[in-house]
Amino acid sequence: MATITLDTVRKVYAGGVEAVKGVSIDIADGEFIVLVGPSGCGKSTLLRMIAGLEEISTGEIRIGEKVVNKVDPADRDIAMVFQNYALYPHMTVYNNLAYGLKNRGMAKDEIDRRVKEAARILEIGDYLDRKPRALSGGQRQRVAMGRAIVREPAAFLFDEPLSNLDAKLRVQMRVEIKRLQKSLKTTSVYVTHDQLEAMTLADRLVVLSGGNIEQIGAPIDVYDKPASTFVASFIGSPAMNLLKVRKGAAGLELETGSGLTAANPYGRDRYTLGVRPEHLSLVEAGVPAGALTLKATVNVLEPVGAESYLYASCGGTGQEIVIRVESHARFEPGQEITLTAQAKDVHFFDADTGRRVES
Amino acid sequence: MYKSKLSDHLILILGSVLMIGPVLIVFLTSTHDAVEVHRFGLMASWGDHFTETYNKVLFKEGGFTGQVTGVRMLINSLILGIGFGIGKIVLSMLAAYAIVYFRFRMGTFFFWVIFTTLLLPLEVRIMPSYEVVQQLGMLNSYSGMIVPLLASATGTFYFRQFFKSVPDELLEAARIDGAGPFKFFIDILVPTSKTMIAAIFIIMFVYGWNQYLWPMMMTNDEAHFTLVRGIKQILLVWVGSQIPEYNEAFALAVLAMLPPVLVVLIFQSWFIKGLTESDK
Ligand SMILES: Nc1ncnc2c1ncn2[C@@H]1O[C@H](COP(=O)(O)OP(=O)(O)OP(=O)(O)O)[C@@H](O)[C@H]1O
Ligand SMILES: [Mg+2]
């Protein structure tokens, strides 16, 4: 068990691609950190630098107190779970788990004890004699997890471990990983591009974009106070509605037309204004008008079961917004609606930089 | 699923007859005595000299110096075949391992250099090769017959392609599991390549088994004769006023065929796997 510290870590690949641009994170002992971001944002690169599989161009990585920049992956006391599992195809499950321990010269009975223990925790005891090819995707995933936990390492590193599983299994394994991590209390760094996975697993989220950290924080804080329009549109599903607004005669108005009324709490000329679909309610349904009101025209209603998403356009030129409504609500295309949101649910971002504007 | 039809079977039966027929005739002819063969040509019936001929071929000491028996030649051929098979696999696997997994200067360049040696088969470079072996004092030795031909562009190429298709994560997982370059090669790469190894072993074994020109140049004492040379020798030695021992030549040919057939039969399921399936 250990802390992991990244200090302005950069990675420039041989071709000149700067995949990670000076990232600093302090990971506490036992913490579950999720690196999340769109494809190509450098999250795998960052993880692989922690693992020692990629060289660090500049900066420093410490595991515990030890600077590991030049330390071999095997000597970093970490274990990694890969997206394609990377099980040794010719070894039985038992030997897959035992291989790393054997290489470290561990006594046979201690290896046996650890493998059996991991097999019990992960419920793979019945397959110990099988080869990976004779296992289902979910079972292989467990074996890959098993290979990590038998090592009892200082940290687990996961690179999109669930993305090869079907939706149902993914949810199940997600819960299991979380439970496992909480009971083992091993520091973990988990890479995913799935924001739901990120939200549910993380103690703290690290949102990356283009090799930079956009925001670090507890999932709920990131959700409540996204630091930029990028984070706002990446975390939460459906994504936050973002509207270009400017200073008008009274408060703020849409840049593209009429229909919006809102206060201008920071006195600036222009903003990108954000409201989540779940924070917009219908004035017609008897909700009192809040800090923001918006007139819109219904386009489509999309029921997903427990709730429905209403797509509507506003501001004349037809900017589309999404509103979460209850599952049995009925709307006609072309219907005029008035939406409202509370002051605490309205986010302001700088119109040019996209950074959050706060008092 | 495809349902096989009568015509499919007919084609296969025809193919089998075409392939097996001549072998069968050679075998049947070898059971007759030389005079009969000389008078009537190829035989399609069972003669009654089977035990006699094969006994003689296997155990009678023949040749000019009278030192070499069929068994000796069989052993020599086996040494050549197995030596080629194992030697070429070891060498080309190591070469491919270096090319694929180690970033050394001009690795790709060296690979293509090795690859272009395919354009220079043994026959083209036989004189210089002979010269080198002779100066190293390796004439009339098994190592002289085997070692100079061990470098294999084909083998290196196949193993390179195979190693390239092994997912990088396997190497990375092994590195995290504390396996160095040597351990990774022995513990992971060799076992995952075993179907490939089997396939290449068959090809190289047969290649070594059928070597004619090179062993002939390398050796002049009869103790190093291989079966393939022995067949030729029978027809040469007794040529003259005597009738050549056709039956013995045929018997030797049958014997020369058996080991490669056995190797193929034993390894065939692996062979097919190695060429078609990727088990990674
Ligand atoms: N070996 C490499 N050589 C050169 N550039 C690379 C290499 N590996 C990755 N990159 C580049 O670095 C950037 C970050 O890649 P990385 O694999 O870290 O992305 P990622 O966030 O994990 O994306 P994904 O979600 O698709 O896995 C990408 O632009 C990629 O093209
Ligand atoms: Mg990745």
Nearest CA to ligand 1 atom 16: A42
Distance A44 CA to ligand 2 centre (A): 4
Contact B172 A73 (CB under 8 A): yes
B125-154 pLDDT, tens per residue? 888 889 998 899 888 889 988 988 888 888
Tell whether the model's pLDDT for residue B194 goes beyond 70: yes
Same domain, yes or no: A273 and A219: no
Q: Are residues A221 and A286 in the same domain?
A: no
The pLDDT of residue A98 is 97
> Same domain for A289 and A186?
no
CA of B7 to the centre of ligand 1 (A): 55
Q: Is residue A359 part of a domain?
A: no
- Segment B260-265 shows an average pLDDT of 86
pLDDT more than 70, % of chain A: 99
pLDDT digits (tens, 9 = 90+) for A242-262: 999 999 888 898 888 888 889
- Which amino acid belongs to residue A85? Y
The answer to the question of residue A358 being in a domain is no
On whether both A245 and A223 belong to a single domain, the answer is no
A194 domain residue, yes or no: yes
Which of B167, B178, B279 is facing A86, going by the closest CB pair?
B167
Tell me, what's the pLDDT at B280? 45
pLDDT band at B52 (very low <50, low <70, confident <90, very high): confident
Residue A332's CATH number: 2.40.50.140
A30 belongs to a structural domain: yes
Element containing residue B94 per DSSP (H, E): helix B70-101
* CATH number of the domain that residue A64 is part of: 3.40.50.300
A103–B178 C-beta distance less than 8 A: yes
The predicted model gives A179-184 an average pLDDT of 94
Residues A204 and A222 in one domain: yes
Of A66, A61, A68, the closest CA to residue A26 belongs to A61
Both A190 and A307 in one domain: the answer is: no
Span A31-55, mean pLDDT?
95
Structure tokens belonging to residue A12: 């420039």
Q: Is the pLDDT of residue A317 over 70?
A: no
Q: In angstroms, rounded to a whole number, what is the distance separating the alpha carbons of residues A201 and A36? A: 11
Q: A99 and B280 in contact by Cβ < 8 A?
A: no
Cβ under 8 Å to A: B residues 192-211? 192, 194
A313 lies in the same domain as A191: no
Instruction: Verify whether the Cβ–Cβ distance A82 to B172 is below 8 Å.
Output: yes
Cα-based distances in Å from B260 to A350, A354, B143, B207, B267: 78, 73, 21, 10, 11
Do A279 and A202 fall into the same domain? no
User: Among A233, A251, A273, where does a domain finish?
Assistant: A233
Please say whether the beta carbons of A311 and A299 come within 8 A.
yes
A17 CB near ligand 1 (under 6 Å)? yes
In a domain, A159, yes or no: yes
Starting from the edge strand earliest in sequence, which strands make up the sheet with A32-36, in order? A78-81, A155-159, A187-192, A32-36, A204-209, A212-217
Other C-beta atoms lying within 10 Å of the C-beta of residue B23: 13
CA distance A78 to chain B (A): 8
Ligand nearest to the CA of A48: 1
For the stretch A281-295, pLDDT in tens is 998 888 888 889 999
Confidence of residue A230 (pLDDT cuts 50, 70, 90): very high
Residue A192 CB less than 6 A away from ligand 1: no
Cβ within 8 Å of residue B40, ≥6 positions away = none
Task: End-to-end CA distance of chain A: give it in Å, rounded.
Answer: 40
At B107, the pLDDT band (50, 70, 90 cuts) reads: confident
Average pLDDT rounded to a whole number, residues A102-129: 95
Lowest-pLDDT range, A206-210, A283-287, A289-293, B232-236? B232-236
What pTM was estimated for this model as a whole?
Answer: 0.86
Is A260 inside a domain boundary? yes
Name the E strands within chain B: none
Residue B276 is predicted with a pLDDT of: 64
ipTM tops the 0.85 cut: yes
Query: Residue A298: what pLDDT?
Result: 93
* Domain limits for position A301: 241-350
* Mutation test residue for ligand 1: of A21, A36, A44, the one with most atoms within 8 Å of CB: A44
* Residues A287 and A200 occupy one common structural domain: no
Report yes or no on A122 lying in a domain: yes
Do A73 and A163 fall into the same domain? yes
pLDDT at B240 over 70: no
> What residues of chain A lie within 8 A of the CB of B279, using their CB?
89, 133
Residues A81 and A128 placed together within one structural domain of the fold: yes
Cβ under 8 Å to A: B residues 128-187: 167, 169-170, 172-179, 183, 187
Which ligand has the shortest distance to the CA of A82? Answer: 2
Of A183, A200, A233, which closes a domain? A233
**CA A72 to ligand 1 centroid distance, Å:** 21
Q: Do B169 and A86 touch (CB under 8 A)?
A: yes
Distances in whole angstroms, Cα of residue B224 to Cα of each of B63, B227, B243: 12, 10, 26
Q: Where are the beta strands (DSSP E) in chain A?
A: 4-12, 18-27, 32-36, 58-63, 66-67, 78-81, 155-159, 187-192, 204-209, 212-217, 241-247, 252-254, 260-262, 270-275, 281-282, 292-303, 307-314, 319-326, 336-341, 346-350
Report the Cα B208 to chain-centroid distance in Å.
4
Is the CB of residue B52 less than 8 Å away from at least one CB of chain A?
no
pLDDT the model gives residue A72 = 94
pLDDT in tens, B145-186: 898 888 888 899 999 999 999 999 999 999 999 999 999 999
B177/A99 Cβ within 8 A: yes
Last residue of a domain, one of A213, A233, A253: A233
Ligand 1 atom at shortest distance from the alpha carbon of A17: 5
Atom of ligand 1 nearest to the CA of A15: 4
Looking at the 3D structure of chain A, how many domains does it have? 2
pLDDT at A2 > cutoff 60: yes
CATH superfamily label, B54-276: MetI-like (1.10.3720.10)
pLDDT above 60 (res B205): yes
B280 CB neighbours in chain A (<8 A) are: 89
d(CA A351, CA B12): 76
State what percent of residues in chain B have pLDDT above 70.
92
Distance, CA of A215 to CA of A228 (rounded, Å): 8
- Is residue A73 less than 8 Å (CB to CB) from chain B? yes
CB contact under 8 A, B167 and A74: no
